[in-house]
Amino acid sequence: MQREELGLETAGKAIAVVGLAAILPDAHDAATFWENVKAGRDSIGEVPPERWDPRDYYDPDPSAPDKTYSKIGAFVRGFRFESTRFRIPPAVGAAMDVTQQWMLCCARDALADAGHPGAGKIDPERTAVVLGNALGGELHELTTFRVLLPEVWRELESLPELGALAESARRSLLECLAARVCAKLPPITEDAMPGELGNVIAGRVANALDLRGPNFTTDAACASSLAALDAAVGLLLQGRVDTVVTGGVDRTMAPTTFVKFSKIGALSADGSRPFDATANGFVMGEGAVALVLRRLADAERDGQRVYAVIRGVGASSDGKGKGITAPNPRGQLLAIQRGWQEAGLAPRTVGLIEAHGTSTKVGDATEAECLVNVLGETGLPPRSVALGSVKSQIGHLKSAAGAAGLLKTVLALHHKVLPPTVNVRQLNPAIDPERSPLFVNLAAQPWERPISSPRRAAVSSFGFGGTNYHVVLEEPLPELLTRGRVAAREATSVPVFSPQEISAGPSTPPRRAALCLGASSPAGLKAKLARALADAKSGVVPAPEASRPADLAAPERLVIDFEDSSSLIAKAEKALEAFAAEDPKVWRVLQARGVFRGSGPAPKVAFLFPGQGSQYLGMLRALHAAHPVVRRTFEEADAAMEGKIPRRLSDYVFAEGEEADAALRDTQVCQPAMLTADIALMRLLGESGVEPDLVMGHSLGEYAALVACGAMPFADALLAVSARAKEMASVSIADNGKMASIFAPEEQVRQVLGEVGGYVVAANINSRKQTVIGGATRAVEEAVARFEKLGVRAVFLPVSHAFHTEIVAPASQPLRRVLERLRLRAPSIPIISNVTGELYPSTGGELREQMLDLLARQIASPVQFVKGLETAWRLGARVFVEVGPKRVLASFVDDVLGDRGAVAVSTNQPKKGEFESFAEALCGLWASGLGRKGSMQTPTMPEAGAKLDSQAAAFTTRSSETLSEAGHLALGKLFAGFLEEGLKTYRQHFDGEAKGTPAPKALPEAQQQGGSVVVTGASVGLPGRARRIFEDDNFERVLRGDCLIESIEPRVRERMAGKQVVRLVKGSDGSARFDTISDTAEVIKLAGLPGSLDLVEEFGIDKERVEAFDVTTQLAVAAALLALRDAGIPLVRRYRKTTKGSWLPDRWTLPESLADETGIVFASAFPGYDALVGEVSRFHEDRARRERIAELSALRSALPTNEAAV
């Protein structure tokens, strides 16, 4: 690409479109709208009878008074607003105009498309709502009619014919008429006015979605939504907000609008035909479009999907012209020129123009002439710029027209397709296809990228009153504008699961590669496959690295996993047969053979993590040998579990034999082993470019999901599941209960359970056809007998307890106490809870407590897996990846969501083989359009050879749970200052005061260590009465500048005065004297008062050991333990062997691999002084008591011994 064509000088003004949503004719979402656009669907038809009756308002004669000569339009049908989803009372929702309802739904869906809420990318405090609308909606016409009814009644009463009736008959007639009319009109309440005002549309969105940036509605007639876009871009570029929800909405399709436009002569009675010679007026349409905008640099920094980039917006007014409603070429020309000037780009780089194109003969000709004037000077060849108008398909949306055209153009850039314009049979004479660079595109076709620039497009919108807007957009190329270079994915290939990735190991995996094909149409894809098959038969097989990102991003995709040429030939032939069959079921069958077909944009992907029960001996053995990331994950787990189980965790997993199988099934071994396998596969997927949009686990798997969403470090999750397993195993009651798997619909299962006497519940609602029940032994046995009698398959599960029932509820609170000591933070992507089947909370002051409550409850609550899958589907997930051993959860997805087109992929199928099953999973994901998004943003191990090779060394610090970016910066400066002062002191010692002392000898070169000193963990204890010394928010208190000085209580000051402290007082004349402090007024009154510290309760240290520590040592121990935890360095429990061969818990230590390399250096001004003073005081008190006793004894011996003398 040529630098001058990139517009780097204006790159700082680039705005990203990161979210989309729409409610339009024949399309209640943006994806359906795009499919309609590509297919050339015409959504224009006669007015629906439920809207209004043409018999009342229609007359084909344009001169008929108060009538419309047109009764066609593009209408939204079948929309249903559920106010309670927005926590809006039904009465308020009913009083809202449909414009507000549509826009509220679109704004919510667009934000969800942009990852909000859940991903943490969008801050509601800095999110604005700027929307385009004119005339409000239709509701205000009805309420206005109701208000004006008295005038109608008065005219009726004045009619002589009515006056001839008896008074009672006249009154009865009017009352009956009023009742019938009012019954058809909405009531006027306190909610009526805000429900129908146009300016409240933006306010309603901000209110319902809790967005706290500016909100307002723009009215520029038919250019309203692009006027809103212009204002939104300005807010972002001024830095006043970080995110804007913008777009437009229009639902003015009442007969009044038809009649008024008819009197202008603007409507067509027979169809919308932009740029056709027979165009005779526009056809009205309705709908809503919402777009989420962010600065491009922010969107790329946060890893958000960018649909398109807005480079510039031009605006103008017509000024004085022929009339207020007549188009003025001068004004339009100015808007177009200003748009490209604002973008800093040359108009010659445009490839698509979405015109205002209303289908009026004069308007279309005027617009085409303006465009030719601008483009004609650029030297563009004929038929080089596609021209179109979405109004040919959905009519003229009036104030939302610009937003609809913008949505179409953004999706065209995103999918790299030139969309069609329909109903053009004879071109408007103003467009000469042989001489003009413009051509009207009549069918969807691939949009080839120019050599010198990205794909670019423009959108125009012109409004009554002479207001004109022109927007310049381009396709997003990551880092092209933010760093001035072309995206890496446009210049590099997609790595395939191949031997080149594999390090040396005990075994060599079979060679695997993938054939990746992409095309713009199924026919093109079939042709490519035929060529690849011919090549394979001639001995030419694709290299493992031969695929191109363009293929994986194409609208139509095919990916085949193969081992050698013969397997590729066999699978390619089957794929060609599937093309011929044109049956989706055939493709579904081929997935099991490693052949995957995909089309359309990349969907959202959900990672599903299995739990206990999916483990097997030797799981991930081959991947462990071949991939360093898997090995490092197991090494990390071995270190974290050291001392918690008798042997290394990996020794249990990779052992052999029946005894080894039984040992792995032990809950306290199985749960950390499953977690480790899940995380290892997740990290391997991350290295392959696949990362989740949301996550969910099954039972134990929920802890893997917590790691995946960044809510809990892997090391802490291992500690959590270890404690979970221990507490579950320690539950001991008279009846530990039973569990059984029932292969029947959930409704039938619950019906039978309701007939059983005793405690039995649905413990795992896994799929539509399978539910696990649990409860008291006799009750479960009775339930199984009933199911078997009904012919339903029921299988008892080999478990020690009835998990996820009240039987194991005693383990909840002990587990919670353990979890409270671990790091837990807000998830960075959505995570679904087993307890509720809904999302975990992601914001709020009580976030940590809410998450702890869910995890504590999870152990004894039913697993709502079906509900969780429905939630994931509702959030947009269409691809579900089982990230863990075996294929269990993927089958649940097939059962629950398979009929809706969900794609279920499993990453590990031991019967198929680890390499083949993982490679097939990647192929399935690539075919879906996923992959190459970047590495996972989860804790990872250092590279081989790093200092802490087997320990977690990149975990988020505890303070990052609540610290802002500025807080981290301040904290970094604090530690940097500390290190700088320390080094300064060090240098002064050797270079200044001790010049006479020989400097220490330099180490031999081979022993010298290079690099920087880094702080990987920190803790701080602070003063504060009635607080713990080591509170979780201590760093925040320091950085906020909280005052930690408090008043000393009077009783303490009295004790200080009672000590008769002697002070030296110097006079101004140089004299000095000693004064004794005896008055409380003279002692200090303010101090940093000590808080509470209990090493036994807070840190689990033995009471006997703590009793031997002075307060300084206690502070040091607490600070050290917290700093180690903050650095992600675990402590491990040691066990000692008894004389009988059993093992007993001993003490906590660092892992062996760190113990010999870890030093401890603490500084204290008065270490142990308080203990020393205490000991001295007790010594003197004891000696004084003894002396007193001796004096009393001597006195007693001197007394007479006879009672009489006494």
| CA dist 861 → 763, 920, 1188 (Å) | 7, 35, 67
pLDDT of residue 1054: 83
According to DSSP, the β-strands at 903-906 and 771-775 are unpaired
Q: How confident is the model at residue 1152 (pLDDT cuts 50, 70, 90)?
A: low
Q: In whole angstroms, what is the distance from residue 779 CA to residue 807 CA?
A: 13
| Least confident segment among 717-726, 816-825, 1119-1128, 1142-1151 | 1142-1151
Cα-flanking dihedrals φ and ψ of residue 553, to 5°?
-100, 0
Q: How confident is the model at residue 484 (pLDDT cuts 50, 70, 90)?
A: very low
Question: Could you write out the DSSP letters of every residue in 602-636?
Answer: --EEEEEE--TT---TTTTHHHHHH-HHHHHHHHH
Do you find a cis peptide bond into 117, omega within 30 degrees of 0?
yes
Token code pair at residue 163: 């006056």
Q: What is the pLDDT of residues 1108-1146, one digit of tens each?
A: 787 888 888 888 888 887 776 767 666 667 777 666 766
Tell me the percentage of the chain whose pLDDT exceeds 90: 46
Q: Is the pLDDT of residue 437 over 50?
A: yes
Looking at the structure, give the CATH architecture of the domain made up of residues 737-799. Answer: 2-Layer Sandwich (3.30)
H/E segment holding residue 195: helix 192-196
Q: In whole angstroms, what is the distance from residue 699 CA to residue 274 CA?
A: 58
Residue 464 or residue 119, greater confidence:
464
Q: Where are the domains of the chain?
A: 3-8+15-137+198-474, 147-183, 496-600, 606-725+803-918, 737-799, 962-997
What integer is the mean pLDDT of 798-820? Answer: 89
Q: Which of 735, 765, 729, 731 is nearest to 748 (CA)?
A: 765
CA atoms 888, 891, 893, 896: torsion sign: negative
Q: Mean of the per-residue pLDDT values for the chain?
A: 83
H/E segment holding residue 183: helix 167-183
Q: Which residues contact 853 (CB under 8 A, 6 or more apart)?
A: 816
R_g of the chain computed on alpha carbons: 38
pLDDT of residue 1053: 82
**pTM for the structure as a whole:** 0.46
What integer is the mean pLDDT of 60-70? Answer: 94
Q: Is 744 helix (H, G, I), strand (E, B) or coil?
A: coil
Token code pair at residue 447: 């949009």
From edge to edge, which strands make up the β-sheet containing 794-796? 794-796, 738-742, 771-775, 760-765, 863-864
Q: How confident is the model at residue 43 (pLDDT cuts 50, 70, 90)?
A: very high
Q: Name the DSSP class of 492.
A: S
| CA dist 1043 → 235, 901, 1030, 1050, 1086 (Å) | 37, 59, 16, 21, 12
Q: What is the pLDDT of residues 1099-1118, one digit of tens each?
A: 778 788 788 787 888 888 88
Domain 496-600 in this protein, CATH class: alpha beta
Q: Which of 690, 696, 681, 1044 is nearest to 840 (CA)?
A: 696
pLDDT of residue 312: 95
Contact 594, 571 (CB under 8 A): yes
pLDDT of residue 135: 84
Q: How confident is the model at residue 495 (pLDDT cuts 50, 70, 90)?
A: very low
Q: What is the pLDDT of residues 898-936, one digit of tens each?
A: 888 889 999 999 888 888 899 899 999 999 888 744 332
pLDDT of residue 1191: 74
Q: How confident is the model at residue 565 (pLDDT cuts 50, 70, 90)?
A: confident
Q: What is the pLDDT of residues 997-1010, one digit of tens each?
A: 444 434 333 333 34
Q: In whole angstroms, what is the distance from residue 862 CA to residue 764 CA?
A: 5
Q: What is the pLDDT of residues 573-613, one digit of tens each?
A: 999 999 988 888 888 888 888 899 989 888 999 999 999 88
pLDDT of residue 1176: 61
What integer is the mean pLDDT of 854-872? Answer: 94
Q: Is the pLDDT of residue 514 over 60?
A: yes
pLDDT of residue 537: 85
Q: Which residues contact 77 (CB under 8 A, 6 or more apart)?
A: 25, 26, 48
H/E segment holding residue 258: helix 255-264
pLDDT of residue 506: 31
Catalogue the long-range contacts made by 783-790 (C-beta closer than 8 Å, 24 or more residues apart).
Answer: 783/740, 783/742, 783/752, 783/753, 783/756, 784/740, 784/742, 786/752, 786/755, 786/756, 787/742, 787/744, 787/752, 790/752
Contact 895, 767 (CB under 8 A): yes
pLDDT of residue 947: 29
Report, as residue numbers or ranges, the catalytic residues.
699, 804
What integer is the mean pLDDT of 475-486? Answer: 67
pLDDT of residue 772: 95
1027-1045 b/e with 16+ CB inside 10 Å = b? bbbbeeebbbbbbeeeebe
pLDDT of residue 1168: 63
Q: Is the pLDDT of residue 1014 over 60?
A: yes
Residue 265 or residue 165, greater confidence:
265
pLDDT of residue 962: 40
Q: In whole angstroms, what is the distance from residue 363 CA to residue 839 CA?
A: 51
- Per CATH, the number for 3-8+15-137+198-474 is 3.40.47.10
pLDDT of residue 967: 47
Q: Is the pLDDT of residue 502 over 50?
A: no
Question: Could you write out the DSSP letters of every residue in 539-588?
Answer: T----TT---HHHHTSSEEEEEEESSHHHHHHHHHHHHHHHHHT-HHHHH
Q: Which of 551, 492, 15 is nearest to 232 (CA)?
A: 15
Tell me the percentage of the chain whose pLDDT exceeds 70: 85
pLDDT of residue 687: 85
Q: In whole angstroms, what is the distance from residue 393 CA to residue 979 CA?
A: 67
Q: What is the pLDDT of residues 326-368, one digit of tens each?
A: 778 888 999 999 999 999 999 999 999 999 999 988 889 999 9
Domains 3-8+15-137+198-474 and 737-799 are alike in CATH topology: no
Tell which CATH classification among 3.40.50.300, 3.40.366.10, 2.40.110.10, 3.40.1650.10 matches the domain 606-725+803-918: 3.40.366.10
pLDDT of residue 700: 92
pLDDT of residue 989: 44
What integer is the mean pLDDT of 1051-1069? Answer: 78
What integer is the mean pLDDT of 489-514? Answer: 37
| Least confident segment among 303-317, 456-470, 984-998 | 984-998
Q: Which of 452, 471, 274, 296 is nearest to 378 (CA)?
A: 452
Q: Which residues contact 732 (CB under 8 A, 6 or more apart)?
A: none
132: left (phi over 0), alpha (psi -120 to 50) or beta: beta
Question: CB-based burial of residue 999 (10 Å sphere; 0-12 exposed, 13-18 middle, 19+ buried)?
Answer: exposed
Residues constituting the chain: 1206
